[in-house]
A and B are shown apart, each in its own frame.
Chain A
Amino acid sequence: MTAAVDARTRQDQAIHGVNPVAKLIAAMVIGFCLLLSIDPVSALVALGLEAVLLVWAGLSFREFFVRTAPLWIAVPLTGLTTALYGVDSGSLIWQFGFVSVTDGSLELAAAMMLRILAAGIPAIVLFVTTDPTDLADGLAQVLRLPERFVLGGLAGLRLVGLFIDDWHSLSLARRARGVGDSGRVRRFGGQAFALLVLSVRRATKLATAMEAKGFGSPGTRSWARPSPFGWREVVLIVIGVVVGAAAVTAAVVAGTWRFILG
């Protein structure tokens, strides 16, 4: 986990230099546009445009598929459940008790699968090319979110790697104490509680160390790292808007637009 976080700290593709706040907005615009309707055309158009844009994301094939792995697991599962249990319409293809597959539910399944990919891929790709420190700088300096929460959260992120090591040690210690053979579920609960206790202690120490460095004292804080927001950021947001608008327009023109609130 720490390695994964650190691996992002130094990359040279153009996208890495874009302010994370712009990435966040672009991903949210695309996601929002795709949430408005459930139809295959809008998702397909968005996905097609994203496939072209991926070239500039600076991810290798391997890296891309590893990072987006959760999507590739979620998508077929969503498709399967929608096909089996989704609202039925059109001709019946297959039935088994309550379970039925129809033209309508198959179409819905396809639309759902494409939609998850189209909204998920840009969100993940933009996120993995973002350094958490830069994101925090952007949230505090560009969006003016409260610095206590932003920096507190960022510092907390440093502890995640330690928690993973702690968990490993806790597991080994339970084996060493003779309670590692049975009661897996109960042991998991106890171990999770032990990790919680340890993490609260670590967090308390970290908070003291931060306070000792003057964090949270009255007076204005300055920022060692600038968080610039210029034409590159605007371009990325415009790209997001264009992808979203193209998807919506294509669906309306093709007559497949199904506004979910309508």
Chain B
Amino acid sequence: MSGSGARVDARGWGWRYAGRRASAVSGLTVRIEPGERVLLLGASGAGKSTVLHALAGVLGGDDDGDQQGELLVDGRRPQDCRGVAGLVLQDPDSQVVLARVGDDVAFGCENLGLPRDEIWRRVGSALDAVGLRLPLDHPTSALSGGQKQRLALAGLLAMEPKLVLLDEPTANLDPEGVTEVRDAVARTVAETGATLIVIEHRVAVWRDLVDRVIVLDAAGGVLADGAPDDVLASEGRRLADAGVWVPEFPPAAPVRTPWPASELLLQGSALGVGRRKGAVVASGIDVTVASGRALAVSGRNGSGKSTLALTLAGLIKPLDGELAANPGFAAGAGREPARWRSRELLTRIGTVFQDPEHQFLSSTVRDELAVGPRALRLPEQEVTDRVDDLLERLRLTSLARANPFTLSGGEKRRLSVATILAARPSVLVLDEPTFGQDSRTWRELVALLAELLDEGKSVVAVTHDRDFIDAIADSELVIA
């Protein structure tokens, strides 16, 4: 593949998105030499993604924002040299362009106007390079998250870029997926000599692969720049406080006071679960949910963990076996949670979805929190009290009038948990609550769940996150 990397030059560069008062990035001056491998860190909101989008030439023109200073790739403006830089984004689902693996990898080469023979030669070697050995007509919809990210990487490699830009490429992946993608990147940069810039909260994933760490300052410019060990030694504590996962400074685990009077709330016997009739994804599951206890549900991607969570949450019916609520817990609502009315479910079992956006219903954070209490027909004073309390407790007070969809990832996660807590359910079901979260949100979430457990609430969490399981789980159910 291509022989060398590109040089990046930023001289007093800044960018302000159209319609925003504050600049996303300002006063950035940095030079990255050909072939360097850089981990770009910074608190959320420091403008890391903006820099990467700018280098990929996809930030847009004058209508989309105002630029200051200069940002050059090999001495040219990024939008004038398409194909020199390639970008992989965080969300695996939104990057697949075509229906077949081979066609999807070929897409970038077609846009560069390469001859047909050359395209298919490059498609073959790019798929080899990322270790995705599948038939060219394999459907892209059948790929796992990790495979989709490797596919995106292959599409980028086939264009033979001199600058590889990765924007949190592993944030939405399970541990196997993270390793797959990391190893594929390591192999390909070693082979091509391309310059690499990667953004990632989890320092441990990339630390051994990069030779330089640049920390962006949210106030503008560069906070620290140097060899990984030096930067992490001097800035590690500050970065960890800002939400970066620094191995030397892990977030503190909460101290638990076990609930003394644990009672059985839900019992599943020989459960078979699936989203549609006749499509059982996991079966023969025996499970109990008890007050004051946290149950972690783990297992590989596609094992049916999330489907089990939806079943335990009373949102879908078990396809086989039985899920029974203890009469004391059901409190007159019947034995099977799936038959409860939506309002009956609200005070008994609350569900936090993997994607917070799926559960937002209102146009302001305050209204969003009031949805549950209002559905319970609580007096208006009680609604206001509960909402104010949660805004305070989850550091959302300053965002009370913001639209939930405009919040950052961490804020959305906190809000989605808060909306469920507003109805004070006895059981809290969470699907991958820590996916893609920075260490600060992680720490707050774990502390909050521990507090709820100590009050006698029950927590069921579907998760890949080993640290999370170690921090709060009382028992673990592994779905094969």
Contact = CB atoms under 8 A, between A and B. Distances in A.
Nearest to A7: B139
B11 interface: no
Contacts of A10: 137
Interface in A168-217: 168-170, 172-181, 190, 194, 197-198, 201-202, 205-206, 208-217
A55 interface: no
Contacts of A172: 310, 315-316, 351, 353
A155 B98 contact: yes
Contact of B345 (A132, A176, A224): A176
A95 interface: no
A258 interface: no
Interface stretch (B22-30, B115-123, B215-223, B225-233): B115-123
A5 interface: yes
B375 A178 contact: yes
Interface in A1-34: 2, 5-6, 9-10
Contacts of A175: 315, 342, 345
A131 B98 CA distance: 12
A70 interface: no
A222 B113 contact: yes
B: contact size bracket: 35 or more
Contacts of B97: 155, 158, 206, 209-210, 213
B106 to A, nearest CB: 4
A139 to B, nearest CB: 15
A210 B108 CA distance: 8
Contact of A211 (B58, B98, B102, B376): B58
Interface in B119-146: 119-120, 123, 137, 139-142
Interface residues of A, number: 54
Given A179-B371, A224-B106, A169 B353 contact: yes
B10 to A, nearest CB: 19
B93 A221 contact: no
Interface string A141-155: 000000000000011
B466 to A, nearest CB: 26
A100 interface: no
A161 interface: yes
A159 B420 CA distance: 29
Q: Which of A181, A198, A223, A224 lies at the interface centre, i.e. has the most chain B CB atoms within 10 A of its CB? A: A224
A163 to B, nearest CB: 11
A206 B82 CA distance: 17
Given A177-B359, A205-B91, A214-B82, A226 B116 contact: yes
Nearest to A206: B94
A60 interface: no
Chain A contact residues: helix, strand, loop or mixed: helix
B237 interface: no
Nearest to B155: A213
B120 A9 contact: no
A208 B342 contact: no
A62 interface: no
Given A9-B100, A176-B345, A221-B113, A168 B275 contact: yes
B6 interface: no
Nearest to A215: B111
B20 interface: no
Interface in A101-138: 131-133
Contacts of A91: none
B359 A178 contact: no
Q: Which of A2, A176, A221 lies at the interface centre, i.e. has the most chain B CB atoms within 10 A of its CB? A: A176
A173 B113 CA distance: 45
Contact of B120 (A176, A180, A212, A224): A224
B53 interface: yes
B353 A173 contact: yes
A161 B141 CA distance: 9
Interface string B442-455: 00000000000000
B184 to A, nearest CB: 18
A114 B111 CA distance: 46
B95 interface: yes
B111 A178 contact: no
B197 interface: no
A213 B159 contact: yes
Interface string B350-386: 1101010111110000000001100110000000000
A177 B419 contact: yes
Interface in B283-320: 310, 313, 315-316
Nearest to B276: A168
Top-5 shortest CB links A-B: A180-B342, A178-B346, A178-B375, A214-B111, A205-B94
Given A177-B375, A223-B116, 17 more contacts: A6-B99, A133-B98, A155-B98, A158-B96, A158-B140, A162-B93, A172-B310, A172-B315, A174-B361, A176-B345, A177-B372, A190-B361, A198-B357, A209-B97, A212-B86, A224-B106, A224-B107
17 contacts: A157-B99, A172-B351, A176-B345, A176-B346, A177-B371, A178-B372, A179-B361, A179-B371, A180-B341, A181-B342, A194-B361, A202-B94, A206-B97, A209-B152, A210-B107, A212-B58, A213-B86
